[in-house]
Amino acid sequence: MGSWRIATIRGIPIKIHWSFFILPLFYGLSAGSTAGAIRGVVFILLLFACVVLHELGHSIAAQYYGIPVKEILLLPLGGLAQITRMPRRPLHEFVIAIAGPAVNIAIVLMLGLVVPSLLDVQRLSQQALSLAGVDLLRDLTITNLYLAGFNLLPAFPMDGGRVLRATLNAFLPFATATSIASWVGRLFAIGFAALGLYTGNWVLTLIGLFIFFGAGAENSMVQQQARGEAQVAADVTRPATPLHPLDLVGAIESQVRPSAQPLYPVIDGPRLEGMVSRADVLDAITLFGPGTPVQTIAARAHYVPPNMSLDQVHQIMTSRHLPGVLVIDGHKLLGVVDIRDVEEAVNRG
Ligand SMILES: [Zn+2]
CA of residue 58 to ligand 1 center, whole Å: 7
pTM: 0.74
- Mean pLDDT on 312-341: 87
Q: How far, in Å, from the CA of 223 to the mean position of ligand 1? A: 23
Query: What percent of the chain lies above the pLDDT cut of 90?
Result: 28
User: How far does the centroid of ligand 1 lie from the alpha carbon of residue 87, in Å?
Assistant: 15
> Ligand 1 mean position to 8 CA, how many Å?
19
102 CA → ligand 1 middle, Å: 9
345 band by pLDDT with thresholds 50, 70 and 90: confident
Q: For position 13, what pLDDT does the model report? A: 87
Q: How far is the CA of 289 from the centre of ligand 1 (A)?
A: 59
Q: 51 C-alpha to center of ligand 1: Å?
A: 9
74 Cα–ligand 1 center, Å: 12
Output 151-155 pairs: Cβ under 8 A, ≥24 positions apart: 151/54, 151/100, 151/101, 151/104, 152/98, 152/101, 153/188, 154/181, 154/184, 154/185, 154/188, 155/184, 155/185, 155/188, 155/189, 155/192, 155/211, 155/215
- How many CA atoms within 13 Å lie on the side-chain side of 288? 15
Output the CA 101–ligand 1 centroid distance in Å: 6
What separation in Å is there between the alpha carbon of 64 and the centre of ligand 1? 16
Cα(26) to ligand 1 centroid in Å equals 24
Q: What pLDDT, in 10s, does the model give residues 244-271? A: 888 888 888 888 888 888 889 898 888 8
Domains present along the chain, CATH in parentheses: 1-152 (no CATH), 154-230 (no CATH), 233-347 (3.10.580.10)
